């Protein structure tokens, strides 16, 4: 589905945008979703522990899948044979595929990997066989998967990378973007470029301007929230990038999912986000709740660890104001029990809650933008 982005309203006090993404199918039918938007992650063609119906009930727009994982299993050939990723996984909303660039960073962390101009050599985590991923290959796989949004193959450098390394890296990422764009061959698929450059203003600016010159369907900001990157650096990466991105294209901050980070990034002009944290935290027994907790690194997401003994006799829902299926029907004591017993349904119920929590949070931000009171919304949010 081809994508069109329109700004509905720019918030008066900040750079926040209320926008809409309109997807138009081959037959002319459209699907429209408002931004700011949170996109749940379904790496292996499934949002872990959830059926498509359960995902749908959280009211998401786009969901993610991953090129690297689907490349190895079941292979793009199988997905093509199934009639594309939508048919294969029974998800008929929009799908964004990440390029595999992040896997080079996360899988090969502390391990042998070889990033060359041509591409990246690393080892399969499934069977140890040598793999070689190039920008062309990543795009070709995504073409075959037939996702709605393909991401350029970028290098996601660690937060510890220094200026000299990053300068080199962003230039190579630009060349990789160019190469990927050249082989991109799926008229129904949108292709996004990715801005890199760490926390450095000139690098982000350079990367953004050069990426925009290539004219993509949308732009992502990558390389944030890695390792122990400070929140300050993350927000810098965002505010040094967005000024150089076109107003009429959607802006995607990759991998960010803490409510406080969503808010700070929306204020700096970001539209869409994805993150594994709601589903991972869920499988680990944690439920997102309103407010923040203060840490030495600043305000962080607030959450309940339902495995804690204190919830054994707590017969209230996770959130009294939450409208999700879990909060409408189940108590903390029940979730505590399920997580203690290792029952899969516990992970499902918490995933539903956490995803809905972030999507609802985006809905609240949209209302605040519409009414030009996003800073007030932030003050209120940080007060809790």
Partner RNA sequence: GCUGGAGUCGUCUAGUGGCAAUGACAAGAGACUGUAAAUCUCUCGCGCUUCGCGCUUCGUAGGUUCGAGUCCUACCUCCAGCA
Task: By CB under 7 A, name the binding residues for RNA.
Answer: 41-43, 47-49, 64, 66, 69, 98-99, 101-103, 105-107, 109, 111, 125, 151, 154, 156, 194, 220, 222-226, 231, 254-258, 261, 274-277, 279-281, 283-286, 300, 305, 307-310, 340, 342, 344, 347
Rounded least distance, CB 41 to RNA, Å: 4
The single residue of 148, 228, 274, 323 carrying the catalytic annotation is: 274
The single residue of 25, 27, 98, 323 carrying the catalytic annotation is: 98
Q: Residue with structure tokens 């300068």?
A: 167
Rounded least distance, CB 273 to RNA, Å: 8
Catalytic: 98? yes
Sign of CA dihedral 257, 259, 262, 264: negative
Report DSSP state, residue 369. Answer: H
Closest to RNA by CB, 6 or 93? 93
Closest to RNA by CB, 42 or 269? 42
Closest to RNA by CB, 26 or 112? 112
Catalytic: 215? no
Q: Is 303 helix (H, G, I), strand (E, B) or coil?
A: strand
Beta strands in 25-118 (DSSP E): 30-35, 37-40, 63-66, 95-98, 114-115
Closest to RNA by CB, 10 or 130? 130
| Cβ-proximal residues to 102 (8 Å cutoff; 6+ apart), any chain | 156, 222, 254, 255
Report DSSP state, residue 41. Answer: B
- Contact call for residues 372 and 12 (beta carbons, < 8 A): yes
Closest to RNA by CB, 8 or 126? 126
Rounded least distance, CB 132 to RNA, Å: 17
Q: Which of 264, 343, 355 is nearest to 318 (CA)?
A: 355
Q: Characterize the bridge pairing of strands 272-275 and 37-40.
A: parallel
Q: At what angle do helices 374-383 and 344-370 cross, to 10 degrees?
A: 140
Closest to RNA by CB, 144 or 238? 238
The radius of gyration computed from the CA coordinates of the chain, to the nearest angstrom, equals: 20
Q: Is 6 helix (H, G, I), strand (E, B) or coil?
A: strand
Rounded least distance, CB 78 to RNA, Å: 19
- Beta-bridge partners for 131: 122
Rounded least distance, CB 12 to RNA, Å: 27
Given strand 149-151, what is the order of strands in its sheet? 37-40, 272-275, 250-253, 218-221, 190-195, 149-151, 95-98, 63-66
Rounded least distance, CB 26 to RNA, Å: 26
Catalytic residues: 98, 274
């Amino acid at each position: 589905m081809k994508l069109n982005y329109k700004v509905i309203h720019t918030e008066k006090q900040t750079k926040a945008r209320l926008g809409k993404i309109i997807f138009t199918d081959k037959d002319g039918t459209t699907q429209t979703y408002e931004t700011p938007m949170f996109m749940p992650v379904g790496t292996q063609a499934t949002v872990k522990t959830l059926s498509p119906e359960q995902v749908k009930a959280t009211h998401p727009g786009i969901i993610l899948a991953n090129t690297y994982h689907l490349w190895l299993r079941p292979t793009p050939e199988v997905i093509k044979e199934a009639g594309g990723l939508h048919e294969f996984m029974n998800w008929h909303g929009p799908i964004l595929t990440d390029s595999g660039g992040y896997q080079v960073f996360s899988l090969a962390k502390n391990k042998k990997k070889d990033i060359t101009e041509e591409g990246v050599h690393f080892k399969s985590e499934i069977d140890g066989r040598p793999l070689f991923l190039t920008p062309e290959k990543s795009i070709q796989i995504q073409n075959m998967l037939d996702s709605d949004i393909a991401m350029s193959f970028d290098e996601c450098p660690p937060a510890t990378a220094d200026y000299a390394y990053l300068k080199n890296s962003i230039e190579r990422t630009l060349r990789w973007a160019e190469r990927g764009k050249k082989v991109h061959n799926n008229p129904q698929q949108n292709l996004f470029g990715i801005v890199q450059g760490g926390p450095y203003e000139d690098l982000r600016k350079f990367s953004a301007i050069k990426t925009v010159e290539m004219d993509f369907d949308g732009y992502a900001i990558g390389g944030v929230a890695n390792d122990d990157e400070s929140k300050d650096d993350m927000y810098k990466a965002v505010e040094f990038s967005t000024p150089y991105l076109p107003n009429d294209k959607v802006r995607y901050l990759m991998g960010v999912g803490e409510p406080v980070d969503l808010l700070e990034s929306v204020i700096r002009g970001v539209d869409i986000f994805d993150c594994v944290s709601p589903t991972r935290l869920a499988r680990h027994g944690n439920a997102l709740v309103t407010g923040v907790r203060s840490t030495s690194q600043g305000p962080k997401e607030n959450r309940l660890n339902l495995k804690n003994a204190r919830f054994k006799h707590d017969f209230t829902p996770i959130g009294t104001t939450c409208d999700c299926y879990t909060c409408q029907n189940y108590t903390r004591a029940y979730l505590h029990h399920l997580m203690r017993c290792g029952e899969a349904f516990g992970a499902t119920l918490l995933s539903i809650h956490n995803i809905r929590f972030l999507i609802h949070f985006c809905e609240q931000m949209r209302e605040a933008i519409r009414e030009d009171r996003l800073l007030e919304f932030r003050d209120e949010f940080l007060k809790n």
